[in-house]
Amino acid sequence: PVHGEPLLDVDKARKEFGGLVAVNDVGFSIRAGDIVGLIGPNGAGKSTTFNLVTGVLSLTAGDVRWRGRSIAGMPSRDIARLGISRTFQHVKMIPDMTVLENVALGGHLRGRAGTVRAMLRIDRDEERRLFAEAERQLARIGMADRMHELAGNLALGPQRLMEIARALCTDPALLLLDEPAAGLRHKEKQALAAVLRQLRDGGMSLLLVEHDMEFVMGLTDRIVVMEFGTRLMEGTPAEVQASPAVRAAYLGT
Ligand code: ADP
Ligand code: MG
């Protein structure tokens, strides 16, 4: 995508669970090169919004468009193929496999169902291709020197980076990160922020759900604030910090 090109349009997205309106006609857009934060109190509807974008949940009403075309109702793996990738809040890995194997396997699993079957089905050429891609992505985020370590031996910070490398294997234009800084030490947060900035500088767009305000404020261009399923406001980090409504709803001051 060309820098500034409209990528994602969330248009009056609505999700009801029985009588509960978890996401209430929420709209926002992401352009190529944006880093957008999605914040709000627990239960505000952030994860549900995330799941509506990635096809994990289907919309009750409204639309999600990718580069002008509706992706509503599309299966997750097709959405991933279009260029939207994600990480999960809780690191998914096989601890007694190497970092490289975990990343290679993730890239493969994205396109197919069933862990073990997928592992058994790949032929030599495909395996070689997956490992080359995994190695390339680990190098890209500065993890080349750790790729032969067992994933389970890594600290949380490097594990999160491993997840990002895995998400990068599908060559996304937009990467969604679910609380990437949660539980990280200060140094690890700084390393993560550097990697995310580097990805953005390479042309990738990022949407992150994150509770760490300092991390969000320092990294994002724009922030969407949600409360009770609705979009409370959208603005620059400075505008969000200055908003009395946001302070009342979220910052607790
Ligand atoms: P957040 O990520 O902002 O903390 P969520 O999107 O997880 O909020 O949840 C928004 C609301 O929707 C909450 O009230 C939550 O309990 C409800 N909710 C989320 N997922 C489901 C589900 N699968 N079934 C029923 N209610 C759900
Ligand atoms: Mg959540």
Q: What is the ipTM of this complex?
A: 0.98
| Ligand 2 centre distance from Cα of residue 22 (Å) | 11
Which residue from 16, 39, 47, 48 has its CB within 8 A of the most atoms of ligand 1, so it is best to mutate?
48
Q: What is the 8-class DSSP label of residue 113?
A: S
* Cα-based distances in Å from 156 to 97, 115, 178, 180, 212: 16, 23, 14, 10, 16
d(CA 97, CA 141): 20
**Which pLDDT does position 118 carry in this prediction?**
59
* Nearest C-alpha neighbor of 31 from the set 10, 45, 56: 10
d(CA 29, CA 48): 16
d(CA 111, CA 106): 9
Does 2 sit in the ligand 1 pocket, CB within 6 Å? no
| Ligand 2 centre distance from Cα of residue 40 (Å) | 9
Does 43 sit in the ligand 1 pocket, CB within 6 Å? yes
The pTM score is 0.90
Does 22 sit in the ligand 1 pocket, CB within 6 Å? yes
Residue ranges per structural domain of the chain: 1-83+172-253, 92-171
H/E stretch holding 192 reads: helix 186-201
> Considering the domain 1-83+172-253, what is its CATH architecture?
3-Layer(aba) Sandwich (3.40)
Mean pLDDT by 10 residues, the chain (253 residues): 91 97 97 94 92 96 98 93 89 88 74 48 78 94 96 95 94 94 94 95 94 90 95 95 85 53
* Cα-based distances in Å from 134 to 42, 115, 131: 34, 17, 5
Closest Cα to atom 6 of ligand 1: 45
**Which pLDDT does position 110 carry in this prediction?**
46
Q: Do 4 and 62 touch, CB atoms closer than 8 A?
A: no
Closest Cα to atom 14 of ligand 1: 43
Q: Do 228 and 56 touch, CB atoms closer than 8 A?
A: no
Structure tokens, 80: 């991933």
**Which pLDDT does position 108 carry in this prediction?**
58
The DSSP line for 39-103 is E-STTSSHHHHHHHHTTSS--SEEEEEETTEE-TT--HHHHHHHTEEE--SSPP--TTSBHHHHH
**Which pLDDT does position 160 carry in this prediction?**
95
| Ligand 2 centre distance from Cα of residue 120 (Å) | 34
**Which pLDDT does position 91 carry in this prediction?**
81
Closest Cα to atom 20 of ligand 1: 48
